[in-house]
Chains A and B, each alone.
Chain A
Amino acid sequence: MATISRVADHCFWLSRYLERAENIARILEVNQSLLLDTQLPAEKQWMPLMIISGIHDYKGTFESEAVQEFMTWDIDNKTSIQFSVNAARENARIIREVISSDMWERLNFYYLWMQDTAGRYLYNQNRHDFYNQMKRINHMFHGITDATMSHGEPWQFLQMGKYLERASQTARILDVKYHVLLPSTEDVGMPIDNANWMGILTSCSGYEPFHKQYDSRDMLMSTAVADFLIFDPIFPRSVRNSLHMFQTALHAISGNPVREPKNDPERLTAELLMWLDSSQIDKLVEVGLHESLTRVVDTIGDLGAKIHETYIDVRMPDVMPT
Chain B
Amino acid sequence: MSSQMMTLGAMTMSQGHVPASLFSNYKLHPKAWDELFDLSCAAHPHCHAVVERLGKLGLTEFQDRRTSADLEFMNQGITFSVYADRRGVEKIFPFDLIPRIVSGSEWVRVEKGLRQRITALNMFLYDVYHDQRILKEKIVPEDLVLRSKGFRKEMIGFTPAQKQYIHVVGTDLIRDDKGEFVVLEDNARTPSGVSYVCENRIVMKKVFPQLFRDSAVRRVEDYPQRLRESLFSVAPDGRDDYPNVVLLSPGSYNSAYFEHSFLARHMGIELVLGADLFVHKDIVYLKTTKGPERVDVIYRRLDDDFLDPETFRKDSLLGVPGLFRAYRAGNVTLANAVGTGVADDKAVYPFVEDMVRFYLTEEPILRNVPTHICARPKDLAYTLAHLEELVVKPVNESGGYGMLMGPSSTSAERAAFRVKIQADPRNYIAQPVVTLSTSPTWTEEGVAPRHVDLRPYIVSGKTTWVLPGGLTRTALVKGSLVVNSSQGGGSKDTWVLEDR
Q: List chain A positions with a Cβ less than 8 A from chain B.
A: 2-8, 75, 86, 90, 93-97, 101, 104-105, 108-109, 112, 115, 153, 253, 311-312, 314, 316-317, 319-321
Chosen A-B contacts, 15 in total, with CB atoms closer than 8 Å, are: A4-B286, A75-B86, A93-B257, A95-B271, A96-B262, A105-B76, A109-B75, A115-B87, A115-B88, A253-B289, A316-B285, A316-B287, A316-B291, A319-B292, A321-B292
Report the minimum CB–CB distance from A5 to chain B (whole Å): 5
Q: Distance in Å from the Cβ of A100 to the closest Cβ of chain B?
A: 10
Q: Does B213 contact A (CB under 8 A)?
A: no
Give the complex CA separation of A75 and B291 in angstroms.
36
Question: Is B252 among interface residues, defined by CB-CB distance under 8 A?
Answer: yes
* Residues of B with C-beta under 8 A to A5: 276, 287-289
169-208 of chain B: CB within 8 A of chain A = none
Contact A3 B288 (CB under 8 A): yes
Chain B hits for A95, CB < 8 A: 271
Residues of A within 8 A of B291 (CB): 2, 314, 316, 319, 321
Chain B residues 260 to 288 lying within 8 A of chain A, measured CB to CB, are 261-262, 264-265, 270-273, 275-276, 278, 280, 285-288
Shortest Cβ gap from A111 to chain B (Å):
9
Which residues of B286-308 are within 8 A (CB) of A?
286-293
Least Cβ–Cβ distance between B249 and chain A, in angstroms:
10
Q: Write out the residue numbers on chain B whose beta carbons fall within 8 Å of the beta carbon of A312.
A: 289
A203 to B271, CA, bound (A): 39
Instruction: Decide if B74 is an interface residue (CB 8 Å cutoff).
Output: yes
* Choice from B75, B265, B292 contacting A316 with Cβ under 8 Å: B292
New contact pairs (17) apart from A2-B288, A5-B276, A319-B291, CB-CB < 8 Å? A3-B289, A4-B270, A4-B286, A4-B287, A6-B287, A86-B88, A96-B77, A97-B265, A104-B77, A105-B76, A112-B74, A112-B75, A115-B88, A314-B289, A316-B280, A316-B291, A321-B292
B contact residues around A115 at 8 Å (CB): 87-89
What is the bound-complex CA distance between A94 and B285, given in angstroms? 21
- Residue of A2, A90, A101 near B289 (CB, 8 A) is A2
**A75 to B88 alpha-carbon distance, docked (Å):** 10
Q: Could you tell me the distance in whole angstroms from the C-beta of A252 to the nearest C-beta in chain B?
A: 12
B292 pairs with A320, CB closer than 8 A = yes
Structural contact, A96 and B265, CB atoms closer than 8 A: yes
| A320 B289 Cβ-Cβ under 8 A | no
Which residues on the B side are within 8 Å of A4 (C-beta)?
270, 272, 276, 286-289
Most chain A beta carbons < 10 A, residue from B271, B273, B275: B271
| Closest Cβ–Cβ distance, residue B287 to chain A (whole Å) | 5
Q: Determine the residue in chain A with the shortest Cβ distance to B291.
A: A319
Contact indicator B76/A108 (Cβ below 8 Å): yes
Instruction: Kindly state the separation between the CA atoms of A3 and B276 in the bound complex, as whole angstroms.
Output: 11
Q: Are A2 and B89 in contact (CB under 8 A)?
A: no
Q: Is there contact, CB below 8 Å, between B75 and A108? A: yes
Chain B residues, CB < 8 A from A90? 252
- B residues in contact with A105, CB < 8 Å: 75-77
Q: In the complex, which residues of chain B have a beta carbon less than 8 angstroms from the beta carbon of A7?
A: 270
CB distance from A251 to the nearest CB of B (A): 14
Question: How far, in whole Å, are A320 and B264 apart by their CA atoms in the complex?
Answer: 27
Whether the pair A6, B293 counts as a contact (CB closer than 8 A) is: no
Interface size class of B (residues with CB under 8 A): 20 to 34
Q: How far, in angstroms, from A151 to B464 measured CA to CA in the complex?
A: 37
The A/B interface has a contact count, at CB < 8 Å, of 79
**Quick check: A314 and B75 within 8 Å, CB to CB?**
no
User: Looking across the interface, which residue of chain A has its beta carbon closest to that of B270?
Assistant: A4
Closest to B251 in A: A94
Are A93's CB and B280's CB within 8 A?
no
How distant is A310 from chain B, measured CB to nearest CB, in Å? 8
Q: How far is the CB of A308 from chain B (nearest CB, A)?
A: 11
Q: Which residues of B contact A104 (CB under 8 A)?
A: 77
Nearest-neighbour CB distance to chain B for A150, whole angstroms, equals 12
Query: Which A-B residue pairs are the 9 nearest by beta carbons?
Result: A2-B290, A2-B288, A97-B265, A97-B264, A319-B291, A96-B261, A311-B289, A94-B252, A108-B77
**Taking CB as reference atom, which chain A residue is nearest B281?**
A320
Nearest-Cβ distance from residue B84 to partner chain A, whole angstroms: 15
* Bound form: Cα–Cα A115–B276 in Å: 32
Q: Least Cβ distance of A307 to chain B in Å?
A: 10
Given A86-B88, A112-B74, check contact A8 B289 (CB 8 Å). Answer: yes
How long is the Cα–Cα vector from A99 to B1 in the complex, in angstroms? 56
CA distance A55 to B287 in the complex (A): 35
B290 and chain A: residue at smallest CB distance? A2
CB within 8 Å of A: which B85-134 residues: 86-89
Give the complex CA separation of A69 and B174 in angstroms: 53
B86, B87, B265, most chain A CB atoms within 10 A: B265
Assembly CA distance A93 to B90 (angstroms): 13
Q: How far is the CA of A8 from the CA of B273 in the complex (A)?
A: 14
Check if A320 sits within 8 Å of B280, measured CB to CB. Answer: yes
**Min CB distance, B104 to chain A, in Å?**
32
Residues on A with beta carbons closer than 8 Å to the beta carbon of B288:
2-5
Which single residue of chain A is at the shortest CB-CB distance from B249?
A: A94
Q: Which residue of B has the minimal Cβ distance to A91?
A: B252
The interface residues of chain B lying within 8 Å CB-to-CB of A96 are: 77, 261-262, 265
What is the minimal beta-carbon distance from A275 to any residue of chain B, in angstroms? 27
A96 to B289, CA, bound (A): 19
Chain A residues whose CB sits within 8 angstroms of the CB of B86 once the complex forms: 75
Contacting residues, chain B, for A108 (C-beta < 8 A): 75-77
Residue of chain A at shortest CB distance from B293: A2
Are the CB atoms of A6 and B265 closer together than 8 Å? no
Question: What B residues does A75 contact at CB under 8 A?
Answer: 86-87
Given A153-B289, A316-B285; A6-B278 close (CB under 8 Å)? no
- B89 with A6: CB separation less than 8 A: no
Provide the residues of chain B in CB contact with A153, threshold 8 Å.
289
Nearest A residue to B267 via CB reads: A97
Complex Cα–Cα for A108 and B77 (A): 7
Residue of B nearest to A157 (CB): B289
Could you tell me which residues of chain B, from 434 to 490, have a CB within 8 Å of some CB in chain A?
none
Cα separation A216 to B276 with both chains bound (whole Å): 57
A86 / chain B contacts, CB cutoff of 8 Å:
88
Interface residues of B in 37-85 (CB under 8 A from A): 74-77
Cβ contacts B241-269/A at 8 Å (1 or 0 each)? 00000000000100001000110110000
Minimal beta-carbon separation of B26 from chain A (angstroms): 34
| Bound form: Cα–Cα A321–B280 in Å | 10
Distance, CA A153 to CA B262, complexed state (A):
21
Give complex CA distance A90, B251 in Å: 12
- In the complex, are the beta carbons of A6 and B273 less than 8 A apart? yes
Contacts of A109 in B (CB 8 A): 75
Within 8 A of A (CB), among B123-169: none
Which residue of A has the minimal Cβ distance to B292?
A: A316
A6 touches B75 (CB 8 A): no
Q: Which residues of A contact B89 (CB under 8 A)?
A: 115
Least CB distance, A284 to chain B, in whole angstroms: 35
Shortest distance between the CB of B451 and any CB in chain A (Å): 32
Question: Nearest-CB distance from A82 to chain B (Å)?
Answer: 9
A139 to B230, CA, bound (A): 41
Q: How far is the CA of A312 from the CA of B288 in the complex (A)?
A: 8
